[in-house]
């Protein structure tokens, strides 16, 4: 089996195409099912629903459980706004992931897209909705916010959505 190696610019272009398609599909369908196209049976989510990260976590697998829990805390409009207006300046050094961020309505939104070397498509990584005033600790694995290492000030609400891939 031949494995193609992509340049950082090729990966960025492919991830940008994936973001555009995801945006278009979410807008047309008016639901989160387009996330299923960039996930597998192991892709899932974790939502922090308490006053601060760690108070209460809700999670599940998309293909097994769907989006009903996620839809309680995050709206289609929030995801569309992030995909349309987010800053795509957060490409990792090796081009393996792209972090898109947006601050709006006293929240910081972000989505992290991964590009596995052995696969030609991008994968949805992490979607977060956090208070921008939080104290941030970066993830050791990706070095990006929203990877489960945030600590929020007491009394701040958080909704976090994480998709992960197991290879």
Q: Which of 16, 6, 3, 167 is nearest to 90 (CA)?
A: 16
Q: Is the pLDDT of residue 37 over 90?
A: no
What pLDDT, on the 0 to 100 scale, is given for residue 26?
Answer: 95
Q: Write out the DSSP string of 9-28.
A: HHHHHHHHHHHHHHHHHHHH
Are 150 and 136 contacting, i.e. CB atoms less than 8 angstroms apart?
A: yes
Q: At what angle do helices 76-85 and 8-29 cross, to 10 degrees?
A: 150
- What's this model's pTM, rounded to 2 decimal places? 0.67
Token representation of residue 60: 């599940």
How far is the C-alpha of 96 from the C-alpha of 159, rounded, in Å?
25
Band the pLDDT of 158: cuts 50, 70, 90.
very low
Has residue 136 got a pLDDT over 60? no
Distance CA 134, CA 109 (A): 13
Q: How confident is the model at residue 155 (pLDDT cuts 50, 70, 90)?
A: very low
Give the C-alpha separation, 14 to 78, whole Å.
23
For the stretch 72-92, pLDDT in tens is 877 899 889 989 998 887 777
Q: How far apart are CA 67 and CA 59, in angstroms?
A: 10
Is a pLDDT exceeding 60 seen at residue 139? no
Q: Is the pLDDT of residue 147 over 60?
A: no
């Amino acid at each position: 089996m031949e494995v193609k190696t992509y340049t950082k610019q090729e990966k960025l272009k492919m991830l940008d195409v994936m973001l555009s398609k995801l945006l278009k599909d979410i807008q047309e369908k008016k639901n989160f099912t387009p996330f299923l196209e960039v996930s597998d049976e192991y892709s899932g989510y974790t939502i922090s629903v308490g006053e601060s990260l760690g108070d209460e976590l809700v999670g599940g697998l998309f293909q097994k459980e769907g989006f009903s829990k996620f839809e309680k805390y995050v709206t289609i409009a929030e995801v569309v706004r992030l995909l349309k207006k987010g800053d795509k300046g957060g490409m990792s050094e090796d081009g393996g992931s792209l972090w898109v961020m947006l601050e709006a309505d006293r929240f910081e939104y972000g989505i992290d897209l991964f590009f596995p070397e052995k696969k030609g498509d991008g994968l949805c990584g992490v979607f977060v909705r956090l208070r921008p005033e939080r104290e941030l600790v970066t993830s050791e694995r990706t070095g990006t916010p929203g990877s489960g290492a945030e600590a929020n000030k007491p009394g701040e609400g958080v909704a976090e959505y994480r998709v992960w891939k197991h290879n």
